[in-house]
Amino acid sequence: MSRLDDPIEPLVTGLLKELGEDPGREGLVRTPERVAQSLRFFVKGYGQDPEKILNNALFDVSYDEMVIVKDIEFYSLCEHHLLPFFGRVHVAYVPDGKVVGLSKIPRLVEIFARRLQVQEKLTTQIAESLDQVLAPKGVAVVVEAVHLCMMMRGVAQQNSSAITSSIKGEFETDSKTRAEFMELIRHGRPSFA
């Protein structure tokens, strides 16, 4: 989309004026274009199909132990204030005849994070998508994040973070499986990374 075609740009120009700024001054001349490009990138997940991403990388495997991809970094926009929140996602599942390519799990996180979000919804969307496509014995997702809407405005808490989880199947019914997952995501980065 060219600069002249993006309907977000005049909205940003109007916003700058409402904030008391001069959109024609040197530092702001191209701000509407940059903001439009940034916003479109931040919400590109709306145009991506999570099931398609996962279905293109399913493999029949007789592995039935826990698979974990942890410390997946993400950035998202809070749907309430359009301010960033960011952090790490830890995903686990116990296969039931099918596994998904490991790189598809961070892609799945990215698809849902690149939408206007709340952390709770992000967490459940990742878990439900994996559960639906893989039909595993269990799925667990934990998201740890800091929210600029809490840091920069309102309660102005600089050192707080939020942790959410979505637990399904064996992770919900078997306390040993859940405890193993929680213990494994607690460990720091491996020394070889």
Residues of the domain holding 137: 49-186
Q: Exactly one of 21, 128, 144, 149 is catalytic; which is it?
A: 149
Q: If you average pLDDT over every residue of the chain, what do you get?
A: 93
Is residue 163 assigned to a domain?
A: yes
* 11 and 77 co-located in one domain: no
130 burial type by CB count under 10 A (0-12 exposed, 13-18 middle, 19+ buried)? buried
* 66 and 138 co-located in one domain: yes
pTM of the entire structure? 0.91
* 87 and 17 co-located in one domain: no
Q: Exactly one of 110, 117, 119, 125 is catalytic; which is it?
A: 119
CA pair distance 164, 42, nearest whole angstrom: 22
Q: Is 119 a catalytic residue?
A: yes
* 57 and 146 co-located in one domain: yes
Is residue 30 assigned to a domain?
A: yes
Q: Is 147 a catalytic residue?
A: yes
The total domain count for the chain is 2
For residue 169, give the nearest of 122, 125, 135 by alpha carbon: 135
* 103 and 164 co-located in one domain: yes
* 122 and 169 co-located in one domain: yes
* 25 and 113 co-located in one domain: no
* 84 and 119 co-located in one domain: yes
Q: Is 79 a catalytic residue?
A: yes
Q: Exactly one of 9, 110, 125, 147 is catalytic; which is it?
A: 147
pLDDT, tens digit, 9 for 90 and up, residues 130-175: 999 999 999 999 999 999 988 888 777 777 899 999 999 999 999 9
Q: Is 170 a catalytic residue?
A: no
pLDDT, tens digit, 9 for 90 and up, residues 166-189: 999 999 999 999 999 999 999 766
Q: Exactly one of 81, 144, 172, 180 is catalytic; which is it?
A: 81
* 167 and 86 co-located in one domain: yes
pLDDT, tens digit, 9 for 90 and up, residues 101-125: 999 999 999 999 999 999 999 999 9
Q: Exactly one of 79, 120, 132, 157 is catalytic; which is it?
A: 79
